[in-house]
Structure 1
Amino acid sequence: MTAHMVSMIYSRDNSWIAEYSANVPAIIAKHGGSYTFVSRGKVEVAEGDLPVPSGVGTFTFPSRQAIHAFLESEEYRPYLELRQKYSTNQILMFDGR
């Protein structure tokens, strides 16, 4: 079953984004995933009391296991550390079509 991942990014410093964006899509693809959408510009909360993220990405993978394999892979680790150094993130996973 297809699984989706939504990442809400709260960046303290955007200097990491170019390196991350240049390298991570290929790693995602190796795990069968793809970017569905990555926000550009200001994010607005339309309803609820969520903190306003500086960016939002949505991703599609073949399964939740594939998402876990991507997030836990050795190849992704340096970019995970880079992302966590300069931002806080909330990541959701769920099954879908």
Structure 2
Amino acid sequence: MTYYSVLAVTPTDEGWIPDYVPVANELVAKHGGRYLARTTSHQQIEGADSPAALRIILEWPSKEAAEAFVADPEYAPHLRARTRGSDSVHFLIEGKDVLA
């Protein structure tokens, strides 16, 4: 079943970004994922204010693929750098409609 990663990221120190992006690109592809959106162009239209500089949506072929990406030892130092250098949230969402 398809899963989606939905992230909101606001860098607090941009020093990690140049090293992060190429490695993340490679590892997302390695684990069967693909970026659907990486953009600073977004607008919140409902709910309490939840600002973020960047919104990211990735598609994964399975929950296991997404979890393997996050747990990949090659990704670990880059994840730590992103976590230290940004305010980030990451949701993993199952691609099904439970209300249908």
What is the TM-score of this pair, normalised by structure 2?
Answer: 0.86
| 1:65 positional shift | 1.2
How far residue 2 of structure 1 moved from its aligned partner, in angstroms, is 0.9
Q: Find the counterpart in structure 2 of residue 78 from structure 1.
A: 77
> Aligned with 1:69: secondary structure?
helix
Give the number of the structure whose alpha-carbon radius of gyration is greater: 2
> 1:37-48 to 2 correspondence within 5 Å?
37-41=37-41, 43-48=42-47
1:54-69 to structure 2, matched below 5 A, reads 54-69=53-68
- Cα distance in 2 for partners of 1:50, 1:70 equals 30
Pairwise CA RMSD of aligned residues? 1.5
SS in 2 for 1:82: helix
Identity over aligned residues, as a percent? 28
* Contact 1:5-1:60 within 8 A present in 2 as well: yes
- Give the drift of 1:61: 0.6
Asked if 1 retains the 8 angstrom alpha-carbon contact of 2:23 and 2:75, the reply is no
Gaps in structure 1 of 5+ consecutive residues: none
Does the aligned pair in 2 maintain the 1:44–1:52 contact within 8 Å? no
Q: CA deviation at 1:23?
A: 1.6
Could you tell me which runs of 5 or more consecutive residues in structure 2 were left unpaired when the two chains were aligned.
Answer: none
Counterpart-to-counterpart distance in 1, 2:70 and 2:12: 21
Task: Output the CA distance in 1 between the equivalents of 2:49 and 2:61.
Answer: 28
